Amino acid sequence: MSTRRQLLALSAGAAAAGALHQSPAQARAKRWIASWAAVPTSIPPTPPLVLENQTVRQVVHLSAGGDQVRIRLTNEFGDTPLRVGEVHVARRSGSGASTDAVSGTDHRVTFGGRRAVTVPAGAPIVSDPVGLRVGGGTDLVISVHLPERTPVTTLAAFAFQDNVIAAGNVTGARTVTPTSTIQQYLFLSGVSVRASGGAIVTLGDSITNGANTVANANHRWPDLLSARLGYDLGVANVGVSGNRLLHDPNPPAGSPAVGYAAYFGQSALRRFDRDVVAQPGAAFLVVLLGVNDLGHPGTSAPPDEVVTADDLIWGHRQLIARAHEAGLRAYGATVLPFKDDTLGFYSVENERKRSALNRWIRQSGEYDGVIDFDAAVRDPGDPLRLRAAYDSGDHLHPNDAGMAAMAAAVPLRLFRI
């Protein structure tokens, strides 16, 4: 049997085995499901951004719609309590970099009935349900007023979306006047909706996070997958630029990486329970990880953190076991080619490890199904390279067309409920 036919057979078998054992009534029952996510990280050892009596208005692109929403704020990397004065949510008016709210859709968000709330150091909080009906693919604006001097110590550093900071408490305003624009998510890590169905969690690195795609366009492959699914399921994108499967950030002293490595986030093994298992309604997991484990040692991590293909396979087996323990179907995605990348990741030895990992993902049968991103984006004339039409320019990250090719390569039948 050809490799392609083997993959199709494996995917079909996984879909049949992966359908959650629910009655039709259970499948139609409404529950909370993750519709948007951003992974919180700490910050590098430099003076943080400090906000005081300012509103942060942030745009999120939902996957599934529902008849109510809930907001998740986070102070998980703060060492002091976070004082939040007021939070509002509304449907967004316009597209691109717009942060305007649709008139008549603004709702105040409360937390245990409280308008103002203090988030303990090291903790997240989840809001009360908000009676805002949203369709699949809707954009929201979430406005958070920070009344006191607030160092920004918990954030998602790579939003690929323009968010704004404005003076004073303008959380309920339809339009705000920015004092600055950022492409980060500050103190915000999730939105869930009340709907039927379940959620897909996409666990990965910068390629899943959306690196090198056009900002404000929602062209990350998980966004495009959500559109292919007709927004029938939630998609929680928990990709983090620079993330590794096996190691936390550990920049060599004195290296430039000291100034940014904290944004890479905790290892996938360490953050799995928070970022995957805790997602409301999580039913499916897609894993695309390993390239940074190969490329970081000797660049932004110490050389003694070099990993073998067996190390990576061991880490993936841990993710599979923990996903199954939590009742999730786990799908493995092959690592994309990166020959001649500009980041210094490629070597003959790293290619050997990538090939060994991909062979195991495709052939071992340990994942419940396979998504062959490698086959979807590689250059037919040189399979160790990204196809030129899909290359963002660094020979490692796909461009928007490459993200579309990745989304198109995902067998939708894997996600039947």
pLDDT one-digit tens code per residue, 4-62: 333 333 333 333 333 344 555 566 789 999 999 999 999 999 999 999 999 999 999 99
Q: What is the model's pLDDT at position 351?
A: 98
pLDDT, the chain, mean: 94
| Segment 172-217, tens digit of pLDDT | 999 999 999 999 999 999 999 999 999 999 999 999 999 999 999 9
Count of Cβ atoms closer than 10 Å to residue 151 Cβ: 16
Query: 33 in helix, strand or coil?
Result: strand
Helices (H), 63-177: none
pLDDT tens-digit readout, 232-257: 999 999 999 999 999 999 999 999 99
CA distance 308 to 305: 10
Kindly give the interhelix angle for 221-228 and 400-408, rounded to the nearest 10 degrees: 40
* Interval 261-315: pLDDT, tens: 999 999 999 999 999 999 999 999 999 999 999 999 999 999 999 999 999 999 9
Which H helix or E strand runs over 100? strand 100-101
pLDDT of residue 417: 80
Asked if 202 and 235 count as a contact pair (C-beta separation under 8 A), the reply is: yes
Residue 156 CA to residue 164 CA, distance in Å, equals: 14
User: Cα(285)–Cα(325) distance, rounded to whole angstroms?
Assistant: 12
3 pLDDT exceeds 60? no
pLDDT (0 to 100) of residue 19: 38
Task: Give the integer Cα–Cα distance in Å for 395 and 90.
Answer: 39
